[in-house]
Amino acid sequence: LPTAPPSPAPPSSMQRRLGAIRTGAALARRGLCSKSKPAPEASPLIINFKHDGVASISLNNRPVNALSHGVCLELRAAIKELEADGATRGLILGSALPNLFSGGLDIRAFHRPDLEQLTQYWTSVQELWLALHTTRLATVAAISGHAPAGGCLLALSCDHRVMVSGGYGIGLNEAQLGITAPPWFSQLLADRIGARRAERMLMTGQLFSPDEALAAGLVDDVVSLADLNNVASSRLAELLAVNERGRVSIKKQLREPAAEALRERQSEDLDWFIHVVQQEDVQAALGAYIESLRKK
């Protein structure tokens, strides 16, 4: 007699909790927002499960995907939850907004700041970077447009970077506002593109075009928008095809020293950043920039 087909494996706890994954369910304030019952506020993250242990997170924080305090907290929490889900092995980090990956940190939080709120915000930035930079997940950044400053940091923290062609810019351009990128920003850039090139980019606040970024090693592929998702998925599949123990071990070996250096000096890094932001010339530059945005 023919045997009955095996019962399908039960969904993982992560999959059960997020549910409706094939319809592009959104995780808002760490709760599920289904398409039939939209959330009162749009979620800043859209999380999808695909297949073969792959998930995607799309930033969805209008108008420029700023990495606000809330976004940093939610993105870190999502990464940790995906790590805890044994079925998930890879992550594609992208954007739900056109022509934009992320506009970077929320500079409004730096202008005439409340010190307690600024402390909480910068701590959330530190913790997000530590989570993304050291995650066991294989990660690919699908960069669909501009990625200055903190947007560039997110991309640099992934294992592979695919960027769309066109008139977009990517880089750590904090110097243009009188802000010094902290050591864990600048060293990450130097590790990717070399010390001399990183030094010049950091001092001048230069942004690279996609082709310049490819030539420098800042991104690994430049593709059309139509090909972005397919190429990002293919690059992630290549990473996942490697023996997982070996891939995760070498990633930890190479990345843990920088992470540990920040952990050991996290309080000093916070004090230094607050000091830099409070300088009058920095505040003046931030105010002028924010005012220019209001006029656009």
CA-CA distance, 140 to 137, in Å (whole number)? 10
Expressed in angstroms, the distance from the first to the final Cα of the chain is 73
Q: Are 290 and 111 in contact (CB under 8 A)?
A: yes
The residue written with tokens 């992934």 in the block is 158
Write the CA distances from 8 to 2, 5, 51, integer angstroms: 18, 9, 15
The candidate with the shortest Cα–Cα distance to 157, out of 180, 175, 134, 173, is 134
Beta bridge partners of 32: 27
Active site residues: 105, 150, 173-174
Contacts of 9 (CB under 8 A, 6+ apart): none
Q: Are 57 and 142 in contact (CB under 8 A)?
A: no
